C-alpha cells in the first residue's frame, strides 16, 4: 500500500471511546482497498458502520481472503 493515511488514536481521541466502530472503520477501509467497487458505509453513518454492511456485486468467499 502506498500513500496510506495513518492516524494514531489515543485515549483522548473521541474515536477511542467506541473500539467496535474503530474496528469497523478499519475493516471498511481494508474491504475498499481489496475491492474498490464495493460500497461501504460512510464514517458518518455510525449505525451501518457498526454492523459493517457491504454492498458488492457478489458474495465474498473464503477464497477472497486467501491473499496472494
In the numeric block, which cell numbers belong to residue 3? 500513500
**Model confidence pTM above 0.75:** no
Q: Assess if residue 44 is contained within a domain.
A: yes
Cβ atoms of residues 9 and 15 within 8 Å: yes
- 15-24 pLDDT per residue, tens: 667 666 667 7
DSSP letter for each residue of 13-50? SGGGG-HHHHHHHHHHHHHHHH-TT-B---TT-HHHHH
What is the average pLDDT value for the chain, to the nearest integer? 74
> So what's the pLDDT on residue 68?
60
Q: Assess if residue 7 is contained within a domain.
A: no
- 43-54 pLDDT per residue, tens: 565 555 555 678
3-state helix, strand, coil in the chain (%, to 5): 45, 5, 55
> Which residues form the domain of 31?
14-65
Q: Assess if residue 53 is contained within a domain.
A: yes
**SS3 state of residue 39:** strand
Indicate the number of domains in the chain.
1
Reported confidence tier of residue 57, pLDDT bands at 50, 70, 90? very high
> Position of cell 460512510?
42
Amino acid at each position: 500500500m502506498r500513500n496510506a493515511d495513518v492516524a494514531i488514536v489515543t485515549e483522548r481521541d473521541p474515536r477511542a471511546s467506541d473500539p467496535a466502530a474503530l474496528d469497523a472503520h478499519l475493516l471498511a477501509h481494508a474491504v475498499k482497498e481489496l475491492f474498490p467497487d464495493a460500497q461501504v458505509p460512510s464514517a458518518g453513518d455510525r449505525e451501518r458502520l457498526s454492523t459493517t454492511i457491504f454492498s458488492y456485486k457478489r458474495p465474498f468467499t473464503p477464497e477472497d481472503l486467501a491473499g496472494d
